Amino acid sequence: DLFAEDTTHRTIVELQHIRDDDSFDRFLYYHLLAIIEQVHGHANYHCDRDVITLVVLTRAPRDPRWRFDLAELPFDVRDSNGTSLGFFGHRLVFVNARCVSSTTPAALRPWLAVVEDSLDGQVDESQHPNALIKRVIHEIRVERLDPNEAMHLAEENGWEIAKKEARDAGHDEGEASGEAKGRAEGEASGEARGRAEGRAEAIVDLLVSRNLPVSDAVRTCIFACRDLPRLRQWLLQATTVASAEALVLEDGTTP
């Protein structure tokens, strides 16, 4: 998540792939929570600032009804003629970098383009002449996460994905050989796999951020590893290693 705040608005920017059935419910929850937390007691329910929650989607949904470039849920009150009365300025906004079309607003198009360009871990700055976008790219590179922070975020993401899959697998196994045991074993296995995949993702991201080519063979080798200590060692070495191949070859692993 990214967080930005000024004296007028609080803006929550959520970037994530749609993986869960409750994704949009979660975005609405975040939005409502950011509004409600401004109220500190029954004596005053007024919100001092408008809340704009901006959700940047990075994958085209399977349901064609949801393949939009821009969608908005305004929180204002309207009269019977549909005229906004200006009571509230809160807005829940969705944009999708994978669904740009001929009707996408001109001001939004370059921002969605740079988001889409970044999804492979690399950005061609020559394709983004906008001065503000160039500044954002520079700031992101300057404020690069250190390996431990990257590993923590990637592990958390990997665990969330694996947890849902493990619950499903554990439930199926539980029906055959004891539901409680099946769920416990499934979640334990899912947690280990999620942590390993999270570390592998952090390693590849770090190598790519250093402009080191990562071949399919090396990528497969890294993601196939389930040895957490080895993955941690690779992550730390990824900050200084001369090449992606050298990283996995140092301990005798064959890519």
Tell me the per-residue pLDDT of 26-55, one tens digit each, with 9 for 90 and over: 888 888 888 888 888 788 888 888 888 888
Q: Regarding predicted confidence, which is higher, 183 or 237?
A: 237
- Which pLDDT score, from 0 to 100, does residue 143 have? 57
Mean per-residue pLDDT over the chain, rounded: 76
Confidence label for 18 from pLDDT (cuts 50, 70 and 90): low
Question: Is residue 179's pLDDT more than 70?
Answer: no
Burial class (CB in 10 A: 0-12, 13-18, 19+), 12: buried
Residue 166 — pLDDT band, cuts 50, 70, 90?
low
* pLDDT at site 83: 92
Question: For strand 2-5 and strand 9-16, is the pairing parallel, antiparallel, or unpaired?
Answer: antiparallel
pLDDT class of 212 with cuts at 50, 70, 90: confident
52-69 residue pLDDT tens = 888 888 877 777 888 899
Cross-strand bridge partners of residue 9: 50
The secondary structure of residue 64, as a DSSP letter, is: G
Mean per-residue pLDDT, 174-184: 53
pTM of the predicted model over 0.75 = no
* Residue 253, pLDDT score: 62
pLDDT of residue 167: 57
Instruction: Kindly give, in sequence order, each residue whose CB lies less than 8 Å from that of residue 53, ignoring residues fewer than 6 positions away.
Output: 11, 12, 14, 27, 30, 31, 34, 91, 92, 93
pLDDT over 80 (residue 142): no
The pLDDT value given to residue 177: 53
pLDDT tens sequence across 75-114: 889 999 989 898 888 999 999 988 888 899 999 999 999 9
Q: What is the mean pLDDT of residues 166-194?
A: 56
Confidence of residue 172 (pLDDT cuts 50, 70, 90): low
Residue 163's pLDDT is what? 54
CA 21/CA 167 separation, integer angstroms: 14
Average of per-residue pLDDT across 235-243: 85
pLDDT: which is higher, 226 or 109: 109
User: In which band, very low, low, confident or very high, does the pLDDT at 161 lie, cut at 50, 70 and 90?
Assistant: low
Report in angstroms the alpha-carbon separations of 57 from 64, 67, 103, 139.
Answer: 14, 10, 17, 22
> How far, in Å, CA of 199 to CA of 234, rounded?
9
What local confidence, expressed as pLDDT, does residue 26 receive?
81
The pLDDT value recorded for residue 247 is: 86
Q: For residue 211, is pLDDT > 80?
A: yes
